[in-house]
């Protein structure tokens, strides 16, 4: 009995001396940040920029055969209302009201304030934008809307593969704020959709960080940053005798739990490489590329 009492007292003393066990940190599923299913009546104000500046120099040895440089892209601000959603939770009809549009390649900024276009998906599954009523769509915007329709077609056709691509840079398990993770070269190729490409495994690094939580308009957003440093030995079907560098920075604001259609995404990058031209031995292309894609979605109704 005495022994038992002494043992119990000793255990109690040890328990008091040891630090209390820390609570397990709260974890968050970053991949669920884009799981929001649109509903009829959702209204978003969208601010978007797509910009690409490039310079290509074709050389044979030190002789310059051709040099080309240019800039392309667009920026726009509009409000979009969801009018119909299909049984897979995808928007099949929407009404878009423009505030502004600028064609960065042509340097044109036509007056589109108040212009209304309708997004419609036809019986053939193809997406198209049509003006509402007698509205006239400027040629620069009309071309951009045609491209967007094709992009929507491609995403719908990919189905689950598109979701896999969107998730490839994020951890597959919930993580706490402050967590970091590594992404394999294979996952990076999937994320950015590079076809017929290969990466140098030792020179390629992709690292993500869950920076913080932010509260906006009653919604909790997950602030995520991904540093991407790709070294291509083959890029889009072209061999690179010296690894071509593609450095990218990705910043995301994802609604926690996919509870809102609002959010932000910004991708910036610089490509620098000299792939060879397969049809012309000894001919190389020195490619310098800068890009920026950004979108901010703010919920204003629904």
Is the model's pLDDT at 5 over the cut of 50? no
Instruction: Give the C-alpha distances (Å, rounded to integers) separating 61 from 40, 64, 128.
Output: 60, 8, 47
Q: Residue 72 forms beta bridges with which residues?
A: 52
**Residue 193 CB neighbours (<10 A):** 13
Whether 39 shows a pLDDT value over 60: the answer reads: yes
Asked whether 29 and 257 are in contact (CB, 8 A), the reply is yes
The model's pTM is 0.86
At residue 178, does pLDDT exceed 80?
yes
Query: What are the tens digits of pLDDT across the range 104-119?
Result: 888 899 999 999 999 9
- How high does pLDDT run on average in the chain? 90
**Tokens at 70, concatenated:** 């240019």
CA-to-CA distance for 38 and 274, rounded, in angstroms? Answer: 44
Range list of β-strands (E), the chain: 27-28, 43-60, 63-85, 91-103, 116-121, 127-131, 175-176, 180-182, 198-199, 205-216, 219-235, 238-255, 263-273, 283-301
Distance, in Å, from the CA atom of 234 to the CA atom of 195, rounded to the nearest integer, reads 10
Q: How confident is the model over 49-105, as pLDDT tens digits?
A: 999 999 999 988 888 989 999 999 999 999 999 999 998 888 999 999 999 999 988
278 against 292, higher pLDDT? 292
CA distance 294 to 253: 12
Q: Is the pLDDT of residue 7 over 50?
A: no
Q: Residue 196 — left, alpha, or beta (φ > 0 → left; ψ -120 to 50 → alpha)?
A: left
pLDDT at position 4: 40
For residue 174, the Cα-to-chain-centroid distance in whole angstroms is 20
Tokens of 176: 């706490």
Looking at residue 81, what is its pLDDT? 98
Pairing of β 180-182 and β 205-216 = antiparallel
Whose tokens are 């119990």? That residue is 8
């Amino acid at each position: 009995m005495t022994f038992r009492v002494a043992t119990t007292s000793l255990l109690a003393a040890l328990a008091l001396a040891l630090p209390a066990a820390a609570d397990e940190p709260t974890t968050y599923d970053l991949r669920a940040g884009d799981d929001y299913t649109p509903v009829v009546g959702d209204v978003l104000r969208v601010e978007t920029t797509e910009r690409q500046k490039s310079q290509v120099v074709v050389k044979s040895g030190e002789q310059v055969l051709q040099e080309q440089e240019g800039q392309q892209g667009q920026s726009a601000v509009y409000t979009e209302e969801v009018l119909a959603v299909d049984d897979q939770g995808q928007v099949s009809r929407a009404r878009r009201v423009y505030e502004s549009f600028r064609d960065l390649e042509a340097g044109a900024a036509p007056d589109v304030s108040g212009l209304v276009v309708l997004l419609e998906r036809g019986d053939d599954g193809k997406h198209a934008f049509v003006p509402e009523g007698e509205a006239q769509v400027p040629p620069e915007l009309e071309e951009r809307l045609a491209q967007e329709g094709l992009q929507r077609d491609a995403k719908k056709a990919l189905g689950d593969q598109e979701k896999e691509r969107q998730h490839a840079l994020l951890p597959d398990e919930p993580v706490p704020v402050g967590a970091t993770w590594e992404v394999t070269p294979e996952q990076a190729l999937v994320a950015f959709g590079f076809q017929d490409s290969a990466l140098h495994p030792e020179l390629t690094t992709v690292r993500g960080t869950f920076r913080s939580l932010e509260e906006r308009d009653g919604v909790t957003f997950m602030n995520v940053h991904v540093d991407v440093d790709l070294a291509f030995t083959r890029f889009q079907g072209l061999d690179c005798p010296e690894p071509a560098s593609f450095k990218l920075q990705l910043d995301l604001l994802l609604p926690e739990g996919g509870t809102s259609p609002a959010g932000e995404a910004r991708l910036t990058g610089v490509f620098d490489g000299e792939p060879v031209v397969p049809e012309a031995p000894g001919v190389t292309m020195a490619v310098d590329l800068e890009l920026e894609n950004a979108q901010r979605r703010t919920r204003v109704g629904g």
